[in-house]
């Protein structure tokens, strides 16, 4: 036997050496062993099936273990597995750059590759700070939305809203000022505030999740309010960093959330669905204006950032396969279908006394329950368990339940998710 100890279950063996992300192990010691996934279904070690209603954190949008993607990655595995990307290049990276640039907002010209969403935003932040530094300007402040989430590395943590995630590190953050997300009520105030604040000339960049703030429980804001803010900020040569790690690749109904907004970002951060959930990778794209501030005979003006696995050929080939699928009529048609199903479901439940509010953009649907509860409290755990018992994997955030299912979900599977939500409304 290659592996010893396989008679004990995964959950039990896990406890001995593994430390899980975003987990207080004393309060949540149990991990569920997953042995297999196909399409929209996860299979646990006891043979129970779950519909993956959140696409394993918004990654597996074309379904798990998608044969089309597997074939492309397998071909690449036999061709070229890994090579240094400093001084070398290869077909999957070149082809990916050509294909991705075609669908990114028109001002995006250059792509910097890395490994995960946090590094994508970290690099975006470094680009913005060094952009001004290279041009001889002293700009050290970053602007961000109050409830944003941009990842768990230091720069990314600094620009994220304060929470249990990053509270322990707040004395070590880079300089950040947070502004509220615009609503009909405060949009004018924010604009006035920014006009004054930006005069000082010390702001380097503004990082934002366009239209949907994922970790803030799928909070949504309006494109025209956001556009007004972006316009003012951009006029002051503050770089706009759109964190589309969650929103990218079709989830909002367009390829990118920035496609809804007239003022285009200088920098865009991508990951999660980029590689269709097959292998980790991220990209920070930028306009030629940004790139040119680094392009120099002076070596120290270069962007000296890099990761060992940058542009891993397998990851690039998975991303290429994902991009190809995204642009098929089939997937685009599925997206339109899911949008309609959510609208119909919304009509059904929006007036339920246990539903405080609902919202939707593209295939992202969220509802707030009319109950008070803590983000990490018992009721949240009860909801989670109810869904899992019903064979549905949803991960409520506080009193928000949201659906972000793969584009390949069937109507029957989606109905099962809807039914599990309806049943919870009647027992809480």
How many binding residues for ligand PLP (CB under 6 A)?
13
Strands 41-44 and 49-52: antiparallel
Smallest gap from Cβ 47 to ligand PLP, in A, equals 30
Inter-residue contact 273 to 52 (CB < 8 Å): no
Work out which of 39, 53, 92, 117 binds ligand PLP, going by CB under 6 A. 117
User: 87 — phi, psi (to 5°)?
Assistant: 90, -15
Nearer Cβ to ligand PLP (116/360): 116
150 binds ligand PLP per the rule CB under 6 A: yes
Beta-carbon count within 10 A of 192 CB: 11
Work out which of 61, 142, 194, 245 binds ligand PLP, going by CB under 6 A. 245
Name which of 147, 42, 50, 117 is nearest 398 in CA terms.
147
DSSP labels for 282-302?
A: EEEEEEHHHHHTT-SS-GGGS
Round to whole Å and give the CA distance between 232 and 144.
14
Work out which of 142, 159, 246, 323 binds ligand PLP, going by CB under 6 A. 246
Which range of residues in 5-13, 115-123, 321-329, 347-355 is near ligand PLP by CB under 6 A? 115-123
Helix (H, G, I), strand (E, B), or coil: what is residue 108? strand
In DSSP terms, 142 is beta-bridged to 176, 205
Inter-residue contact 195 to 231 (CB < 8 Å): no
Work out which of 53, 63, 92, 151 binds ligand PLP, going by CB under 6 A. 151
Round to whole Å and give the CA distance between 358 and 346.
7
Annotated binding site: 57, 117-118, 243, 272, 306-308, 395
- Euclidean distance between the first and the last CA atom of the chain, given in angstroms as a whole number: 48
Binding string, 164-203, against ligand PLP, x = CB under 6 A?
Answer: ----------------------------------------
Smallest gap from Cβ 177 to ligand PLP, in A, equals 19
Round to whole Å and give the CA distance between 157 and 148.
10
124 binds ligand PLP per the rule CB under 6 A: no
116 binds ligand PLP per the rule CB under 6 A: yes
271 binds ligand PLP per the rule CB under 6 A: yes
Annotated binding site for substrate: 57, 272, 306, 395
108 binds ligand PLP per the rule CB under 6 A: no
- For ligand PLP, which residue has the nearest CB? 117
149 binds ligand PLP per the rule CB under 6 A: yes
Nearer Cβ to ligand PLP (152/236): 152
Strands 267-270 and 282-287: antiparallel
Name which of 179, 249, 242, 238 is nearest 211 in CA terms.
242
Round to whole Å and give the CA distance between 173 and 221.
27
243 binds ligand PLP per the rule CB under 6 A: yes
Work out which of 55, 76, 121, 252 binds ligand PLP, going by CB under 6 A. 121
State the residues that interact with ligand PLP by CB under 6 A: 116-118, 121, 149-151, 209, 214, 243, 245-246, 271
């Amino acid at each position: 036997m290659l592996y010893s100890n396989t008679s004990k279950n995964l959950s039990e063996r896990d406890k001995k050496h593994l430390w899980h992300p975003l987990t207080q192990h004393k309060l949540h010691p149990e991990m569920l062993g997953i042995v297999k996934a196909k399409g929209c279904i996860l299979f646990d070690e006891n043979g129970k099936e779950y519909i993956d209603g959140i696409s394993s954190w918004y990654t597996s949008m074309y379904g798990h273990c998608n044969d089309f993607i597997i074939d492309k990655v397998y071909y690449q595995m036999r061709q070229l597995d890994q090579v240094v990307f400093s001084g070398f290049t290869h077909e999957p990276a070149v082809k990916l750059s050509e294909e991705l640039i075609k669908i990114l907002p028109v001002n995006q010209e250059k792509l910097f590759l890395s490994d995960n969403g946090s590094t994508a935003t970290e690099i975006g932040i470094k680009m913005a700070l060094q952009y001004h530094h290279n041009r001889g300007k002293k700009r050290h402040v970053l602007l961000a939305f109050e409830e944003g989430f941009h990842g768990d590395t230091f720069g990314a943590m600094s620009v994220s809203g304060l929470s249990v995630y990053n509270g322990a590190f707040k004395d070590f953050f880079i300089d950040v000022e947070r502004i509220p997300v615009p609503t009909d009520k405060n949009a004018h105030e924010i604009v006035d505030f920014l006009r004054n604040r930006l005069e000082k000339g010390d702001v380097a960049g503004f990082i934002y999740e366009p239209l949907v703030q994922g970790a803030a429980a799928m909070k949504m804001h309006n494109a025209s309010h956001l556009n007004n803010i972006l316009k003012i900020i951009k006029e002051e040569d503050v770089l706009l960093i759109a964190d589309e790690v969650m929103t990218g690749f079709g989830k909002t109904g367009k390829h990118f959330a920035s496609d809804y907004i007239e003022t285009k970002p200088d920098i865009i951060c991508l990951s999660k669905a980029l590689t269709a959930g097959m292998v980790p990778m991220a990209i920070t794209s930028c306009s030629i204006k940004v790139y040119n501030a680094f392009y120099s005979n002076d070596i120290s003006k270069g962007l000296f950032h890099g990761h060992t696995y940058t542009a891993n050929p397998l990851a690039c080939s998975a991303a290429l396969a994902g991009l190809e699928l995204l642009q098929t009529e089939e997937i685009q048609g599925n997206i339109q279908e899911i949008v309609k199903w959510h609208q119909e479901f919304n009509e059904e439940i929006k007036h339920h006394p246990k539903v405080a509010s609902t919202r939707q953009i593209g295939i992202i649907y969220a509802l707030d329950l009319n109950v008070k509860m803590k983000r990490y409290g018992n009721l949240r755990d009860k909801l989670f368990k109810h869904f899992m018992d019903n064979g549905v994997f949803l991960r409520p955030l506080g009193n928000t339940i949201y659906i972000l299912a793969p584009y390949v979900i069937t109507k029957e599977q989606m109905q099962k998710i809807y039914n599990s939500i309806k049943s919870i409304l009647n027992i809480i």
